[in-house]
Amino acid sequence: MAQGVWAIAEQRDGELRKVTYEIVSEGRRIADALGQELTAVLLGSNIKDKAEELAHYGADKVIVADDPKLDPYTTDAYTEAIAQLVQANDPAVLLMGASVQGKDLSARLSARLGVAMAQDCTGFQVEDGNFVAIRPIYAGKAYAKVAFENSWPNMATARPNVMAVAEPDSSRSAEIIDANVDLPDEKLKTKVVEIIRDESGKIELTEADKIVSGGRGMKGPENYKILEELADLIGAAVGASRAAVDAGWRPQSDQVGQTGKVVSPNLYIACGISGAIQHLAGMGTSKIIVAINKDPDAPIFQKADYGVVGDLFEVVPAFTEEVKKYL
Ligand SMILES: Cc1cc2nc3c(=O)[nH]c(=O)nc-3n(C[C@H](O)[C@H](O)[C@H](O)COP(=O)(O)OP(=O)(O)OC[C@H]3O[C@@H](n4cnc5c(N)ncnc54)[C@H](O)[C@@H]3O)c2cc1C
């Protein structure tokens, strides 16, 4: 019978991503509720030294697949490695982050294993001894509770920045297991030939703790400098609505929403954004939403925790000046 909760760790350049801590912390909670062990799975090359850290966040065991073919990430190699490990160990629950990498990997892995998968979940729980995932549907208008029937492992991904990270306990240790994975070249159909990094130093939207976002109300690309100034001050990333992206004011990579990025920062400041359902789908799970809009009937105010009805070209600079007093 399938046993144990697995959390697939995500690392880049040997550094664990924030979503890894979220998934391991949440995995610990679920493992406790099921009365089972939590195993973290770490893949990459020369990454064994990171295993201990996963123990601090709650892993009982850490399976380390250390192979040069697992660095950098490729869908083929990771899918092959994890599928082999799952088939050999038969876990009951398999969790990973719904990051760009996690969405890519989880889709392929669930197909390879022939199991159901709940993507981009905002909560996990155990009901009557069964794992249940909660995920937004209808562009965030409703939440579905997803249970699994005869599908092992129960597979789900967690929306980044939603689940709480446990306080690390450096006295915790885990059994570290070197995994034997066989990655023959004929199974690896893709090869990374070059990585072109974004050298702008911009904070990645999906990982940002704070986001200042601008929509059509910004009136033109040149006006984003007022958002950038505020964002720089508070350590935020700058996002945009699709209207702003379609107008060519901001790159597509800045778009938040149903056809853009799904973000869940602690603070989301929406400036000149009406709050269309497709935009809300991308930021509705933000912890605190501030809306600045001159139209008191703009739908964004129904979602906002704090709203300022006013001209953003007056409100944003005034807010920035106020913030400066506290820095
Ligand atoms: C299939 C599909 C997918 C989509 N995906 C996305 C998506 O991923 N992301 C997304 O954002 N949209 C998406 N859209 C588009 C979405 O429906 C809206 O058209 C879009 O979000 C509107 O962007 P906006 O709020 O910037 O513009 P508008 O709706 O035009 O709103 C502009 C707002 O700015 C305010 N404003 C104007 N001037 C000022 C000022 N000086 N001060 C303060 N406020 C001011 C106005 O009152 C208004 O509320 C999608 C649509 C479809 C059909």
| 175: pLDDT strictly greater than 90 | yes
Euclidean distance between CA atoms 69 and 86, whole angstroms: 19
Give me the pLDDT at residue 114, please. 98
Distance 215 CA to ligand 1 centre (A): 6
Residues 6+ apart with CB under 8 A from 32: none
> Once rounded to an integer, what is the mean pLDDT over residues 180-202?
90
**Nearest CA owner, ligand 1 atom 4:** 278
| 200: pLDDT strictly greater than 90 | no
Residue 22 token pair: 């979220």
Phi, psi of 166 (to 5 degrees): -70, 155
Instruction: State yes or no: cis peptide before 153, omega within 30 of 0.
Output: yes
- The predicted-structure confidence for 24-75, as pLDDT tens digits, reads as follows 999 999 999 999 999 999 999 999 999 999 999 999 999 999 999 999 999 9
| Number of C-beta neighbours around residue 251 at 10 A | 9
Instruction: Name the 3-class secondary structure at 10.
Output: coil
Give me the pLDDT at residue 199, please. 79
Give me the pLDDT at residue 62, please. 98
Say whether 205-325 and 5-187 share the same fold. Answer: yes
- The predicted-structure confidence for 125-164, as pLDDT tens digits, reads as follows 999 999 999 999 998 889 999 999 999 999 999 999 999 9
User: CB of 28 within 8 A of CB of 166?
Assistant: yes
CATH code given to domain 5-187: 3.40.50.620
Euclidean distance between CA atoms 326 and 301, whole angstroms: 27
Give me the pLDDT at residue 147, please. 97
Which letter, b or e, does each residue of 202-230 get, where b requires 16 or more Cβ atoms within 10 Å of its Cβ?
A: ebebbebebbbbbbbbbeeeebbebbeeb
- The predicted-structure confidence for 261-288, as pLDDT tens digits, reads as follows 999 999 999 999 999 999 999 999 999 9
Distance 278 CA to ligand 1 centre (A): 9
Distance 159 CA to ligand 1 centre (A): 23
> Once rounded to an integer, what is the mean pLDDT over residues 291-312?
98
Ligand 1: nearest atom to the Cα of 243: 23
- The predicted-structure confidence for 54-68, as pLDDT tens digits, reads as follows 999 999 999 999 999
Residue 269 token pair: 């400041």
Distance 77 CA to ligand 1 centre (A): 40
Confidence category of residue 177, pLDDT binned at 50, 70, 90: very high
Give me the pLDDT at residue 198, please. 80
Angle CA 25–28–33, to nearest 5:
135
> Once rounded to an integer, what is the mean pLDDT over residues 81-85?
98
Per the listing, tokens 């704090």 go with 306
> Once rounded to an integer, what is the mean pLDDT over residues 88-117?
97
Where helices occur in 189-309 by DSSP H, the ranges are: 224-234, 242-246, 277-283, 300-303
* Residue of 211, 212, 259 best suited for mutating to test ligand 1, as the one with most atoms within 8 Å of CB: 259
- How high is the ipTM of this complex? 0.99
- The predicted-structure confidence for 244-264, as pLDDT tens digits, reads as follows 999 999 999 999 999 999 999
Distance 291 CA to ligand 1 centre (A): 13
Give me the pLDDT at residue 197, please. 85
Euclidean distance between CA atoms 150 and 269, whole angstroms: 43
- The predicted-structure confidence for 1-21, as pLDDT tens digits, reads as follows 899 999 999 999 999 999 999
**Nearest CA owner, ligand 1 atom 53:** 278
What secondary structure does DSSP assign to 279-310, as a single string? Answer: HHHHHTT-SEEEEEES-TT-THHHH-SEEEES
Pocket residues for ligand 1 (CB within 6 Å)? 215-217, 241-244, 255-260, 272-274, 276, 278-279, 282, 292-295, 298, 311-313
CA distances, 41 to each of 15, 101, 195, 241 (Å): 14, 15, 25, 36
- Would you list the domain boundaries of the chain? 5-187, 205-325
Q: Which CATH class is domain 205-325?
A: alpha beta
Distance 18 CA to ligand 1 centre (A): 30
**Which amino acid, one-letter code, is at 95?**
L
Give me the pLDDT at residue 247, please. 97
| 204: pLDDT strictly greater than 90 | no
**Nearest CA owner, ligand 1 atom 51:** 278
Give me the pLDDT at residue 38, please. 98
* Residue of 212, 242, 245 best suited for mutating to test ligand 1, as the one with most atoms within 8 Å of CB: 242
| 173: pLDDT strictly greater than 90 | yes
Per the listing, tokens 């509770």 go with 145
Euclidean distance between CA atoms 301 and 280, whole angstroms: 11
